[in-house]
Structure 1
Amino acid sequence: MQTAPKFSEDIVPLTDLKVNPGRIVSQVDATHRPVLLTSRGRGVAVVQSLHDYEAAEEERAFMRAVVQGMADIDAGRTVSLADAKKRLGLV
């Protein structure tokens, strides 16, 4: 779970990444907060730990599937439990 950003720590000029990339990578790994990279005062990229990125992607995929399932129910695209078991060869 990510914590709230700390703007004094989580916004880093792109030049700092060029100078000491290991520090930025260690920071995102230790804090579990993404770092916003800036160039000329504007946000240009985000650095996030691989673990946190993968967890967020899994959560987004799950939520998309839930929303799709809810839409299917609303549209009447459902099957009975007995039919589902038959289709899956579980009967």
Structure 2
Amino acid sequence: MDPEQRVAKALEDAQGIRARYVEPGPRDREQTRNQLLDVLDDGAVVQALKDSKMEKPTAEQLAELKRLNAIARCRTNGRSSLRRKKPRSGSAI
């Protein structure tokens, strides 16, 4: 399960616990609190929330990763023709 799915499931579970608590009838505050803590304070959920907040790569970073990946694949195939080309001295921009 990816981080976003894990966090979404935890929120869905917590909403279910809350919905049962507000329904008419007897309530057990401590049991409800403990159920909510079981769902929301779970280590996997906390880590998933941290993971989902991680910075997403920029378009430039993704392009560079793709370029480096292509170079690595070529080198494993015995070729290294995708090196970054250096501009010629004296060339017009």
Q: Calculate the TM-score normalised by the size of structure 1.
A: 0.28
> Comparing both structures, which one devotes a greater share of its residues to strand?
1
Larger relative CO (CA 8 A, sep 6+): 1 or 2? Answer: 2
